[in-house]
Chain A
Amino acid sequence: MDFRFSDDQLTLATSVRDYLSGTHGPEVLRHLDEAGPRDPAIWQGLVDMGLTGLLVPEAHGGLGMGLIEAALIAAECGRACLAEPLVDTAFVGVPWLLSQGQTDGLADVVAGTRKLAPAHAINPWVADGDGDALVSVDPLRKLTVRVERSRDTAAQGVSTSLDANGAGDDYLLNLGALMSAAQLVGLADAMLHQAVEYAKLRTQFGQPIGAFQGIKHQLASCSVAIEFAKPVVWRAAAALQDGLASAAAHVSHAKLAASDAAMLTAETAIQVHGAMGYTYEVDLHFWMKRSWALCGAWGDRAFHLKRIDDAVLGGSLPIGPEHTFA
Chain B
Amino acid sequence: MATNVIMPQMGESIAEGTVTKWLKKVGDRVERDEPLFEISTDKVDAEIPSPSAGVLTKIFVGENQTVAVNAIVAEIDGEGSGTAAGGPEPVRPSVTTPPSASPAPTLSADSTPAIAPPSPVPAPDGDTRPTSPAAALAPAAPQAPSETQAAHEHGAAEIGGNGHKIRSSPLVRRIAKENRVDLRAVKGSGLGGRISKKDILAYIGAGPSRPPAPMAPQSAAQAASATTQAWPQQMPASQPAPLKAPAPAAWTGPTQVVPMTPMRKQIAEHMILSRRTSAHVTTVFEVEMTRVYETRAQNAAEFERRNGQKLTFTPFFVRAAVEAIKQYPIFNASVDGDSVIYKRDVNIGIAVALETGLIVPVVKRADEKNFLGVARAVTDLAERARTKRLNFDEVQGGTFTITNPGVFGSLFGTPIINQPQVAILGVGVIEKRAVVRNDAIAIRPMAYLALSFDHRVIDGAMADQFMVKVKTGLENWSEAVL
Do A and B form a real pair?
no
Binding site for B on A (CB under 8 A): none
